[in-house]
Structure 1
Amino acid sequence: MQKFIIAVIAIAAAAIGIISYQQFGEQEPTTALVYEPPRALADFTLASTAADQVGPEDLKGQWTLLFTGYTFCPDICPTTMAQLRDLLPKLQEVASAPVKVWLISVDPQRDDIKRLTDYTGFFGEDFEGVRAEHKDLFPFVRGLGLMYSIPDEGESDYLVNHSAAIILVNPDGNRHAIFNAEHVRGEIPTVDMDSLERDFAILADRYQD
């Protein structure tokens, strides 16, 4: 039995407290949960497949989609990564800055940098894997309003429960929006990519105004 680090209810309550759903007057509304104003990320240091270490400064100058996952994930992660790979060219067409994806590994026991490099490399050069040990990973993931579970001590063959939402970070390096996953009975929870594409275009346009 895996132990949840953060209860889903607690995460939902925290999100309600810090995120405002904005319709911006006469502007076209989004289905994403939008930070208004965008929120700065707490300081962090993570190992990366693209550099020895990355921190908040490495999120600046680009739009970044942050997604928690792990290389042994059987369903949500490969599905979402493949969908994002197909979607990125469309997002790039409407953005004035590069659009990147960071896969935040929530399996520090098995996902080393080599494994993450091989995994993210399959999806393309715009995908970067980042990792840390639990003591540093936990506050970073929690600060994003996301969650993950850890295996019981000594367990080696396990699944990691984790959030399926995608966090959007703007070129200033601030949290801009959250795209929540759809939960449909009998299907894996994933973010609706049509909604993400539409909402991203709206948010990128507003950001440039």
Structure 2
Amino acid sequence: MNSRWLIVIGGLLAAVAGALVFINMPKEQPEALVYQPPRALAPFEIESTAAEGTIDSKALDGQWTLLFTGYTYCPDICPTTLSSLKSILPQLQSYADAPVKVWMISVDPQRDSLERLREYTGYFGDNFVGVRAEHPQLFPFVRDLGLMYSVPEEGEENYLVNHSAAIILVNPDGKRLAIFNATHEPGAIPTVDMEQLVRDFALLAG
């Protein structure tokens, strides 16, 4: 066997070895909690600023949806989260074939009318949707997502609502795919790391 053939064979062996190393390299994994398999949502009916009347789980089909709890009187977490999501939405859309939407689930049905929600979420753009329901329908919906909120005492008018700061990702099949938990730093409001959310979404939607 002449030297030319030895070089060719050596090159082929090196290519095969390189391919095997690449295949066996650990793949980058999302830092979010990913549900495997994705979890179907329990049936629900809820009012939406994007529709006349109530909607159900079919409204989640055919799009990527980021859901979080909030309310229009929220002094910090909600406007911060919405502003941050607005800033990264073009990046998220660049990784997805289906539309990317944001749902803010109002946990203050006493004060958040559909019209108030429409005005509030509309400030952030057409891809931002407000949804609401009275507590008997709202609480099971929020709990099924793995989130929580507090209910004010009867008769209270000026109050804060404690609620989860996490963001839920629902895939275009209308199933819960991941949860992005908020970081809690002393002296700071709990927020989701938006840069990490973008990185994780790129992996999940790709």
Question: What TM bracket, shorter-length normalisation?
Answer: 0.7 to 0.9
Structural RMSD (CA): 0.8
Q: Distance in 1 between matches of 2:154 and 2:57?
A: 32
The residue number in structure 2 matching 1:191 is: 192
Pairs within 5 Å for 1:7-156 = 26-51=26-51, 52-156=53-157
Cα drift, residue 27 of structure 1: 2.2
Cα displacement string for residues 49-87 of structure 1 (whole angstroms, at most 9, x for unaligned residues): 011221110100000000100000000000000000011
Q: Distance in 2 between matches of 1:87 and 1:144?
A: 23
Q: Distance in 2 between matches of 1:35 and 1:137?
A: 23
Cα drift, residue 122 of structure 1: 0.3
Cα displacement string for residues 75-125 of structure 1 (whole angstroms, at most 9, x for unaligned residues): 000000000001100000011110000000000100000000000000000
Cα drift, residue 26 of structure 1: 3.0
SS in 2 for 1:185: coil
SS in 2 for 1:119: helix
Give the partner amino acid of 1:189. Answer: P
The residue number in structure 1 matching 2:17 is: none
Cα displacement string for residues 157-181 of structure 1 (whole angstroms, at most 9, x for unaligned residues): 0000000000000000000000000
Q: Distance in 2 between matches of 1:27 and 1:128?
A: 34
Residue identity over aligned pairs, in percent, reads 68
Give the partner amino acid of 1:151. Answer: P
Give the partner amino acid of 1:71. Answer: T
The answer to whether 1:174 aligns with 2:175 is yes
Cα drift, residue 29 of structure 1: 1.0
TM-score when normalising by structure 1: 0.86
SS in 2 for 1:37: strand
Q: Distance in 1 between matches of 2:111 and 2:44?
A: 21
Q: Distance in 1 between matches of 2:94 and 2:30?
A: 19
Give the partner amino acid of 2:197. Answer: L
TM-score when normalising by structure 2: 0.87
Q: Identify unmatched segments of 5+ residues in structure 1.
A: 1-24
SS in 2 for 1:115: helix
Kindly tell me the number of residue pairs found equivalent between the two proteins.
181
Q: Distance in 1 between matches of 2:187 and 2:196?
A: 21
Q: Identify unmatched segments of 5+ residues in structure 2.
A: 1-24
